[in-house]
Structure 1
């Protein structure tokens, strides 16, 4: 019987024996433990077939998408620092309204927070136009014919606008942080947009 194993010289204690294993195939069976580029070795009978691992298995992990929040609509309120006072308030309000309305297509709580930011932007816009507009009307139409010693009654709109602007900055930061945590902001203002 031909054996795939080489004959080794026998020792004095063990006489030479021929292998009693049946002949094996030259190629491993499909799904065997050896890859195609490896040399075929006989598999002893009764050994379970193993599926080889790919030589370089790479796992692909997709990056988790950030959860949408309407915090950006509130943080847009901080653009009030980027422009000239008065004009910056108008531009900031328009940006907050646009970004807040854009958030309304997202699910809750983004929709509610975006609507609240758009409402506050509209409130701040109206306050800026009314208060600064009345002060500019006083400066252009009434002040030239009168003395400059009565600033206090007509200067109250500017003082009120400055206080509202300070409140605007505080709630833009506070509500932006609250919205970024996924919480619903408690809106402060007239709800023009439902």
Structure 2
């Protein structure tokens, strides 16, 4: 099923902040990579979902890690952060990326159910799948 890897991206709604994002990303990557060697649109959607899942995972780790790392560094000696901005821009960027992730997951799910290929702008971690001519 070409929609499965994209549908797993909606696991971000498990409502465990940050952890849900990591789990949804990993699920997308694993399910996407398991689609290799299948029909062209299934394999292509799997690759695209895996690429986006890994991109989202990377963004989550960097942005959330930076946010909490800075929070710790700035407050460890009893210091405080006055106001939300500009410090909050990092976590707001991650929230924005997460909303975009949900949109991509829904679009990929719908396109996959229609047996169409969906591609999100992502880092190309995985190359195009090899597919037998009979399955194209």
**TM-score bin (small chain):** 0.7 to 0.9
Query: Which segments of 5 or more consecutive residues in structure 2 lack a partner in the other structure?
Result: 128-136
1:192 aligns with 2:108: no
Q: Tell me what 2:130 maps to.
A: none
Match of 1:48 in 2: none
> Which of 132, 138, 157 in structure 1 is aligned with 2:64?
132
Name 1:78's counterpart in structure 2.
Answer: 10
- The CA deviation at 1:133 is 0.1
Q: Distance in 2 between matches of 1:130 and 1:183?
A: 32
Residue of structure 2 in register with 1:118 after alignment: 50
| Ranges in structure 1 where 5+ consecutive residues have no aligned partner | 1-68
Q: Which has the higher helix share?
A: 2
Cα distance per residue 1:68-122 (max 9 Å; x no partner): x320100001111114110110011001000000011312011110000000000
Equivalent of residue 31 in structure 2, options 91, 95, 99? 99
- Residues 9 and 25 of structure 2 are in contact (CA less than 8 Å); yes or no, is this contact kept in structure 1? yes
Match of 1:148 among 81, 90, 93: 81
Give me the TM-score of the superposition, normalised by structure 1: 0.62
User: Aligned partners of 2:49 and 2:57: how far apart in 1?
Assistant: 12
CA distance in 1, matches of 2:26, 2:8: 10
Whole-angstrom CA distance in 1 between matches of 2:81 and 2:10: 34
Q: Deviations 1:146-193 (Å, cap 9, x if unpaired)?
A: 332153222111000000000000110111100111111133211111
Note the alpha carbon deviations across 1:37-86, whole angstroms, 9 max, x for none: xxxxxxxxxxxxxxxxxxxxxxxxxxxxxxxx320100001111114110
RCO greater where, 1 or 2, for CA within 8 Å and sep 6 or more?
Answer: 2
Q: How many residues align?
A: 126
